[in-house]
Amino acid sequence: MNAKETAFIFIEFQHDFCSPGGKLYDAVKGELERNRTIPNAQRLLAGAREKGCLIIHCPFILHEDWVEEHACSGILDGILQNRMFAVNTWGQMIIDAMRPAETEVLLTNKRTLSAFSHTDLDRLLTINKIKNLIVSGFLTHVCAQATAFSAYDRGYQTRMALDACCATSESIQKYVETTFAPVLGGPSTVDGILAEIA
Amino acid sequence: MNAKETAFIFIEFQHDFCSPGGKLYDAVKGELERNRTIPNAQRLLAGAREKGCLIIHCPFILHEDWVEEHACSGILDGILQNRMFAVNTWGQMIIDAMRPAETEVLLTNKRTLSAFSHTDLDRLLTINKIKNLIVSGFLTHVCAQATAFSAYDRGYQTRMALDACCATSESIQKYVETTFAPVLGGPSTVDGILAEIA
Amino acid sequence: MNAKETAFIFIEFQHDFCSPGGKLYDAVKGELERNRTIPNAQRLLAGAREKGCLIIHCPFILHEDWVEEHACSGILDGILQNRMFAVNTWGQMIIDAMRPAETEVLLTNKRTLSAFSHTDLDRLLTINKIKNLIVSGFLTHVCAQATAFSAYDRGYQTRMALDACCATSESIQKYVETTFAPVLGGPSTVDGILAEIA
Amino acid sequence: MNAKETAFIFIEFQHDFCSPGGKLYDAVKGELERNRTIPNAQRLLAGAREKGCLIIHCPFILHEDWVEEHACSGILDGILQNRMFAVNTWGQMIIDAMRPAETEVLLTNKRTLSAFSHTDLDRLLTINKIKNLIVSGFLTHVCAQATAFSAYDRGYQTRMALDACCATSESIQKYVETTFAPVLGGPSTVDGILAEIA
């Protein structure tokens, strides 16, 4: 993979997932530690910076639109009812360890699961002549997987850096590692992916 | 058209277009007056409220992403170079005459021409079971027309309320009235459209 | 769920998956029998017809575009190399048990994983004022799940009829039942879903 | 513009537009001759081949889906009622003068106005690392313009080769030349565009 044609997206490295006191921290705490998600993601981010790749940070922010109140179901309804990632709260801030640099892209408007939905992600990739997309972040089997599914269908060479992702249990994480990563093809670890990029 | 299945989108009723001192005001001033855009749009908005339709306000906000600096051409480049609709300025505020009510939708993230691009407009319409979309605003032949093209392709019964739109010259406005409105089919005036909705 | 606002999509009930001699039959044969996918899908189809819902059949057809030769990776590359679902072959035909009726929609142009990608599915749903989408078919954890992810993000009330789906192993099927179905919310069996529709 | 990053799309060079006896031929005959659309498009195609650019042919085919019968309005309704471009007819065949070469892409599934809607055009451009899209064909102010609007919003450097397009009147053609081409920026003639590509 050519570095100039490769982008990295870091999904939802926010306090509500990553920090004690965050609303979803207890749900992921065990896997954060076992999988070493944060240090691995830092290594991935450092590698992407060193190689000069396009870097995109993608938080989820809960906006107070009335529409959401009436219409969503499943996991988005849980987020809404519990006011996770609520706009202007500490919980929705990106953690210091993964703080975006000034020249990096901060993707706004992610409102559902895939980072392509309702955002200008695809346009950013087009403008920057990106062919390869590396996905990391939270949750492995929800937003990260949904983003990878979308990227693959759109024709990007797609990789999940699964040791820089985090699920809610080890068995879920293993499922994605053994069953979904081969759907995409190629390596699925921070080191394996960075080694592919020249 | 059933009122419960009909949404109205009001595009870019912001100071930079509508108010003396706005950065694009001089370019549209003549047509604003000749076409009576603002009073017609107010009548359209009042009608939509009275019939209980879904109402969506759609400003354009220039965010300070570095990507924009390097990549756009044509009309978006002009907006960027002249810092029109810049975030947190008076110019990007919606004018009082068209102020959104609390229960109405304020669409964020419009970054290019069509209101469907990079926003969750289509999802809002789906959630609300909308079948018909009424388009009004600025400029008749750029963002309003681009939005109508997108809506039509997506399967919405689409109307432009052309006397609640505004172009940069009478001949352009007439072109859209006589040549593009028939591409969509149906009426293309505030009164004609409101009369269609029961 | 209102029947008039509900659509059912039946994904890839084709010989290459469902019939002895099909190129992927051996990979799914065990789960086809254990999960009783075909009889359950027939019951789902009969129920959808009885309730007067919109019915959409969605095969995958491998077209001989040169682009595919050079560009895909992962699972699509496997399909290509093995000429599965190749246009004009027996393998890509829909099985008799799930044969589309004349008035039902046959969705063409599915070329990747989600049935929304590169097709006019979203437009068909819009035109028909659909709010709810019921997903069934092959493979549970690839095209069916990708379609469900897309539908959910687009604002459709989304259900997977998982006993009318089929994976390549029982443990994968169980993963989707226990971990992904709750992401969507609501019931995930043929009988549970049909009971929701009035 | 780098030739390797540039694609050309040729829209609807089919008998129903281009040949005596075609269902829309009389509507465009005057402009076909005045604008010299076919010879200009041949020069554009030859130039694109010589430079080694990606070449995409995009016909419109009217499929006999029942959904279309009930749902479209405006120009698509006219096409439907008059069975223009009907599948398997002479009218929908691409003319010999613009016949696709074996290695060129034949885009299927265009069903509405923009060539991006319901097709895998964006995926083809992504796979091929395309940054620039050159649009030509029919009608200047309907499908060609809709495609250009979509391409611009998606972040492609977009040009209309307007002397290789055709409208239904000279005044419409002039409108697009003088008013819409500057929205995109850059040159808008076959020679001007080919000169940009190295």
Running DSSP on this structure, what letter comes out for residue A99?
Answer: P
- A partners (3+ CB pairs within 8 A) are B, C, D
pLDDT in tens, chain D (198 residues): 999 999 999 999 999 999 999 999 999 999 999 999 999 999 999 999 999 999 999 999 987 664 555 567 899 989 988 999 999 999 999 999 999 998 899 998 899 999 999 999 999 999 898 999 999 999 999 999 999 999 999 999 999 999 999 999 999 999 999 999 999 999 999 999 999 999
Residues of C with CB below 8 A from B154's CB?
122-123, 126
Running DSSP on this structure, what letter comes out for residue D115?
Answer: T
A75, A142, A153: residue with CB nearest C112: A153
Q: How many percent of chain A have pLDDT more than 90? A: 85
Residue C93: the pLDDT is: 97
Spatial distance between the Cα atoms of C96 and D61, rounded to a whole number of angstroms = 28
CA–CA distance from D41 to each of A14, D18, D100, D189 (Å)? 53, 12, 13, 10
ipTM: 0.95
- pTM above threshold 0.95: no
> Which residue of chain A is at minimal alpha-carbon distance from B119?
A118
Residues of D with CB below 8 A from C128's CB?
67, 71
Residue D26: the pLDDT is: 98
D5, D126, D156: residue with CB nearest A155: D126
Candidates A114, A149, A159, A176: best to mutate against C (most CBs of C within 10 A) is A149
CA–CA distance from A2 to each of A49, A119, A189, A194, C45 (Å)? 14, 25, 18, 11, 47
A29: which residues sit within 8 A by CB, 6+ positions away?
A: none
Q: Helix (H, G, I), strand (E, B), or coil: what is residue D189? A: coil
Residue A63: the pLDDT is: 79
B33's enclosing H/E stretch is: helix B25-35
Candidates A61, A65, A80: best to mutate against B (most CBs of B within 10 A) is A65
Helix ranges (DSSP H) in chain D: 15-18, 25-35, 37-51, 66-71, 74-81, 121-127, 145-153, 170-175, 181-184, 190-196
* Each residue's pLDDT tens digit, B19-43: 999 999 999 999 999 999 999 999 9
CA–CA distance from A55 to each of A7, A157, B70, B117 (Å)? 6, 16, 16, 22
Query: Which range is least confidently modeled, A18-22, B100-104, D45-49, D162-166?
Result: B100-104
DSSP string for residues in A113-148: SSTTTTSSHHHHHHHTT--EEEEEEE-IIIIIHHHH
User: Which strands sit side by side in the sheet containing A132-138, from one edge to the other?
Assistant: A105-106, A54-58, A6-11, A132-138, A157-166
Spatial distance between the Cα atoms of D123 and C1, rounded to a whole number of angstroms = 35
End-to-end CA distance of chain B: 6
Q: Which amino acid is at A47?
A: G
Checking if the pLDDT of A66 tops 60, the result is: no
Q: Are strands B157-166 and C105-106 parallel, antiparallel or unpaired?
A: unpaired
Token readout for B60 is 């354009």
Contact D123, C112 (CB under 8 A): yes
> Which residue of chain C is at minimal alpha-carbon distance from B4?
C129
**Crossing angle for the helix pair B25-35 and B37-50, to the nearest 10 degrees:** 70
Q: Which of A76-85, B102-111, D139-148 has the highest mean pLDDT?
A: D139-148
Token readout for A183 is 């759907």
Residues of C with CB below 8 A from A75's CB?
182-183, 185
Contact A160, A193 (CB under 8 A): no
Checking if the pLDDT of A31 tops 80, the result is: yes
Q: Do B117 and A123 touch (CB under 8 A)?
A: yes
Q: Closest approach of chain D CAs to the CA of A138, in angstroms? A: 26
> Mean pLDDT in chain B?
94
Checking if the pLDDT of A73 tops 90, the result is: no
> Which residue of chain D is at minimal alpha-carbon distance from A152?
D123
Spatial distance between the Cα atoms of B20 and B27, rounded to a whole number of angstroms = 11
Task: Taking residues A153-180, report their average pLDDT.
Answer: 97
Residue A69: the pLDDT is: 53
A71, A105, A109: residue with CB nearest B67: A105
A5, A127, A153: residue with CB nearest D129: A5
Residue B65: the pLDDT is: 66
Checking if the pLDDT of B48 tops 70, the result is: yes
Residues of A with CB below 8 A from D54's CB?
none
Contact C74, C146 (CB under 8 A): no
Among D133, B145, D105, D195, smallest CA distance to A127 is for: D133
* Each residue's pLDDT tens digit, C10-60: 999 999 999 999 999 999 999 999 999 999 999 999 999 999 999 999 999
Q: How many percent of chain B have pLDDT more than 70? A: 96
Contact A125, A133 (CB under 8 A): yes
Task: Taking residues A120-141, report their average pLDDT.
Answer: 95
> Mean pLDDT in chain A?
94
Spatial distance between the Cα atoms of A40 and A46, rounded to a whole number of angstroms = 10
Candidates B179, B188, B193, B196: best to mutate against D (most CBs of D within 10 A) is B179
Residue B71: the pLDDT is: 61
Q: How many percent of chain C have pLDDT more than 70? A: 96
Checking if the pLDDT of A135 tops 60, the result is: yes
Helix ranges (DSSP H) in C84-156: 121-127, 145-153
Task: Taking residues A110-136, report their average pLDDT.
Answer: 94
Residues of D with CB below 8 A from C117's CB?
120, 123
Checking if the pLDDT of A102 tops 80, the result is: yes
**Crossing angle for the helix pair D145-153 and B145-153, to the nearest 10 degrees:** 100
Largest CA distance in chain C: 48
Residues of D with CB below 8 A from B182's CB?
74-75
Q: Do C150 and A155 touch (CB under 8 A)?
A: no
Task: Taking residues B121-146, report their average pLDDT.
Answer: 96
Candidates D126, D127, D150: best to mutate against A (most CBs of A within 10 A) is D126
Q: Do A126 and D131 touch (CB under 8 A)?
A: yes
Residues of C with CB below 8 A from D100's CB?
none
Query: C106: which strand partners?
Result: C57
* Each residue's pLDDT tens digit, B164-193: 999 999 999 999 999 999 999 999 999 999
Q: Do B112 and D141 touch (CB under 8 A)?
A: no
Query: A166: which strand partners?
Result: A138
Residues in chain B: 198
- B partners (3+ CB pairs within 8 A) are A, C, D
D95: which residues sit within 8 A by CB, 6+ positions away?
A: D13, D14, D15, D18, D19, D38
Residue D103: the pLDDT is: 87
Residue B70: the pLDDT is: 54
Checking if the pLDDT of C152 tops 70, the result is: yes
Considering only residues B132 and C108, tell me which one the structure prediction assigns the higher pLDDT. B132
Residue C159: the pLDDT is: 98
Checking if the pLDDT of B121 tops 70, the result is: yes
Checking if the pLDDT of B66 tops 60, the result is: no
